[in-house]
Each structure stands twice: as C-alpha cells, then as structure tokens.
Structure 1
Amino acid sequence: MANTYSQIFIQLIFAVKGRERQIREEFREHLEKYITGIIQNNHQKLLAIYANPDHIHILVGYNNLNVLIPNLVRDIKSNSSKLINEENWFIGKFHWQEGYGAFSYSKSQVDSVVKYILNQKKHHEKQSFKEEYIEFLTKFEIDYKDEYVFEFYDD
C-alpha cells in the first residue's frame, strides 16, 4: 500500500510441546537459519534468534503489515516442525506448544533485546524458562491465567 510506513519490533517466544528439551545444540544453528528463511519469505526482517532446547526467542522488525503476527507464527511453527520431523532429529514426533508470546519494543530498546536473545544460553544458567516467561508477562502488564500459560513442569 503506497504511503504506508511502519517501524514495529516484536519479540516472539514459544515453547516445545511439553517443554521437552528436543532442540539439540548440534541442530540449533540449522533450525535458526531455516526459521530466518521463513521470516524473510514473509517479508519481515529478522534481528535476532536463539533456539534454546525447550523454547525459542525471535526478534522481528515487523515491517509488512499485510502479514498478520498469528499467521507469521503459524508459518514458523508449522514449517519448522515439518523440517525437524522430516529430518528425524530424534525418535518421535516434534511439536511446538500451542500459543506464543508477542512483546513489542521501541527502536531504542532493540540493541538490548538483541543482546538478551543472543545471550540466552548464559541467561538460562541462572533463570528457568518459566521464571523468564512469567517475568515477561508481568513486565508487559499482561493479565494471564496460569492454566492458559505454557505447560510448565517442575524442573
């Protein structure tokens, strides 16, 4: 659409079904590159990505408003699940959990969010994913019900 401009930065977070640690380190970079392609094919700009064993963080420069965020997440989840299952990364079937978090940032926050995402391995030595995710919901003042948040199991 002519004369339509936007500058929106969205961090997406979603988890492996059952919070199983199914994204092994030897496949992490391959998965991240594959998801980068999905994001680019949706005419969005990837700013940072890190696939933890049980969840993923993605920072997107959301600049094509014709692509709805739920559709982008659906494409990422369905296509990456298909890749993992077709390449038989493990015995069994891979699924992402239902739902996701989408958190917006200003341009001035982008550098710190990129650093945060790229530092995930070290970050999770000190904080569990559950603690991290609840912290996001609280920080962004999102009302939530425990039963609708990702399935969390005691670590």
Structure 2
Amino acid sequence: MANTYSQIYIQTVFAVQNRNALIHNSWEEELYKYITGIVQNKGQKMLSINGTSNHIHFLIGMKPTCCLSDLVREIKKSSALFIKDNRFCNYRFTWQEGFGSFSYSHSEISDVIQYIEKQKLHHRKITFKNEYLSFLEAFGIEFKQEYLFEWID
C-alpha cells in the first residue's frame, strides 16, 4: 500500500495589534505552551516558538493535509481568548491581520530553530519591521507597503 511522504517546514510570523496590549515576559511561556498545544492538537509538530513583546515566530513540521491559513487563524483566535480568559493583559489583546510564512529545507532547520530561540537578543539590533522586510526580500515575495503590519517601533 502506498503512503504519502513529505518534509514541509514552515516558519510563521505575526504581530500584536494593540500597542498597549503587548506580550509580557511574565506570561509569554504560558502563551507559547498554549500555542504549541493548538499546533499539536491539529496534528502538526511544533519545532520552535519564541518572540518579543510585539510579535512571535514559530517553526512547524507540517503535514500536507494541513491548511496553514486555517491553522494560523485558529492559533490567533484561541490564543487571544486564552490571554483574555487568564487576564494576562489589562487591554484588549488582538493579533494583527495577516501573517508571514516561509518554507525551509531539512538542512536549514537547526539554523532556523536557533534564530527563533534568540529572538530577544536579535531584536536588540534590528527592529521587527526591518526583520520582516528582510524575510520578504530574501524569499522574493512581492508586497505592497500599505498591506503590511502596523509597526510598533
């Protein structure tokens, strides 16, 4: 009997919408664990997750049956509700519309994981805006400035 074999590795990045409702160090680990649970419950494999106060990155091993936009929509919706229900934030927490997703080969996985794990250190030197624009350029993705995130600098 034939089976389906694949290696699909996707890094996804998205940002917090409200400047007042930022991810705080005191509860970010719980948020990352919660998001990891969503990914696992949807049958995907979380390889790394981290971020800063204004955005997150995660790398997943994705099955070909997964619809990435549905997964990200569920992560955003459920995690915003999780933040609200746990009263982690004094303000209305929402994620910005849209996201960036970037594919990698198996040989790049350890570098991407290290990159994600070092997000806070990395962002001492580069803004989220510059980081995101560099991803779009490196992957040859055409974009219009007016459709990008509202930047929190």
Taking structure 2 as the reference length, the TM-score comes to 0.95
Cα deviations by residue, 1:112-150 (Å, 9 ceiling, x for unpaired): 000000000100000000000000000000000000011
The verdict on how the C-alpha distance between 1:37 and 1:78 changes in structure 2, with shifts beyond 3 A counting, is same
Unaligned runs of 5+ in 2: none
Q: Give the aligned residue type for 1:121.
A: K
Q: Distance in 1 between matches of 2:100 and 2:39?
A: 17
1:23 alignment counterpart:
23
Corresponding position of 1:84: 83
- Evaluate the alpha carbon distance shift between residue 149 and residue 29 of structure 1 in structure 2; reply closer, same or farther with a 3 A threshold: same
Q: In the aligned structure 1, how far is the partner of 2:19 from the partner of 2:129?
A: 10
Which of structure 1's runs of 4+ aligned residues deviate more than 3 A? 18-21
- The CA deviation at 1:19 is 5.0
Instruction: Note the 1:4-43 alignment, pairs <5 A.
Output: 4-20=4-20, 22-43=22-43
CA distance in structure 2 between the partners assigned to 1:97 and 1:72 by the alignment: 15
1:18–1:151 contact (8 Å) kept in structure 2? no
> RMSD over aligned Cα, in angstroms?
1.2
Question: C-alpha separation between the residues in 2 aligned to 1:51 and 1:131?
Answer: 15
In 1, the alpha carbon distance for the partners of 2:33 and 2:102 equals: 22
Give the TM-score normalised by the residue count of structure 1: 0.94
CA distance in 1, matches of 2:151, 2:124: 18
In structure 1, the gaps of 5 or more residues are none
